[in-house]
Structure 1
């Protein structure tokens, strides 16, 4: 297998997508934030001093997807058609963030979905760290992608401890 961001001299470079076909592409990624039960109850009942944690996390995720090319050095700036950020409790200590991103372009949208999921999780941490510095963010990975030359990828089995249903 050849890494696409390494040229024949072993140097990092941006992939030339100029000759690639424009296709419909979709990616879905997740992140999981684990916290104390009281912290999750506080978030779900909208009792935090900083405001609507889940609403802010959704907005932060969407904003991050739109700015991915500014954060990840070899990413192309792509025209994003849509980003959704869904956040649901998995149990009494975990929130699962699932981001779905879509574009019609020459290169994929996986990094935008992953960046959005990560940023939404970091926003939850930031808004709640005053009451629970022990929160942790785990299980950031691609769930599914479709479109483009490489076709479809779907995570078939859950990683250890994964809340995938």
Structure 2
């Protein structure tokens, strides 16, 4: 498979999508943040001094999806038509983060979904770091994408069930 972000001289370039068709494109990404059981319980019971951790992380993830092209140099600015963050508390120490991003356009939203999940997890870390500096963010990965020339992708193996 050819890498498309480099020109003939090996220099970075933004891929030209001018001739591509506009299609509905959806990407789903997941990741997780692990923490001390006491931290998870405080998040669940609303006992974090900075406020409702998951509500803030949800807004941060959506905002991040919209800003992806300003963070990742070769990403195209997209008029995202939908962005959603879901959180699943998995006792005793894990929060699963899922981001779903949609667009009708000439390029996909994989990077936007991955960025949404990353920033949501970072926001959880930021809001809880005063009580738990042992938190670990990980397993951020694309789960599914639809639309576009490369077709439908579904991750075959998910270590989280």
Per the normalisation by structure 2, the TM-score is 0.98
Structure 1 residue aligned with 2:94: 94
Equivalences, count: 161
Distance 1:27 1:58 in 2: 17
Determine if the alignment matches structure 1 residue 14 to structure 2 residue 40. Answer: no
Secondary structure of the residue aligned to 1:156 is: coil
Deviation of the 1:75 alpha carbon? 0.3
Structure 1 residue aligned with 2:150: 150
Give 5+ residue unaligned stretches, structure 1.
Answer: none
Deviating beyond 2 angstroms after TM superposition, the runs of 4 or more aligned structure 1 residues are none
Distance 1:91 1:51 in 2: 21
Structure 2 residue aligned with 1:118: 118
Deviation of the 1:9 alpha carbon? 1.1
Distance 1:46 1:143 in 2: 30
Give 5+ residue unaligned stretches, structure 2.
Answer: none
Deviation of the 1:5 alpha carbon? 0.4
Distance 1:58 1:23 in 2: 26
Secondary structure of the residue aligned to 1:115 is: helix
Secondary structure of the residue aligned to 1:96 is: strand
Distance 1:137 1:122 in 2: 8
Per the normalisation by structure 1, the TM-score is 0.96
Structure 1 residue aligned with 2:140: 140
Structure 2 residue aligned with 1:59: 59
Determine if the alignment matches structure 1 residue 108 to structure 2 residue 108. Answer: yes
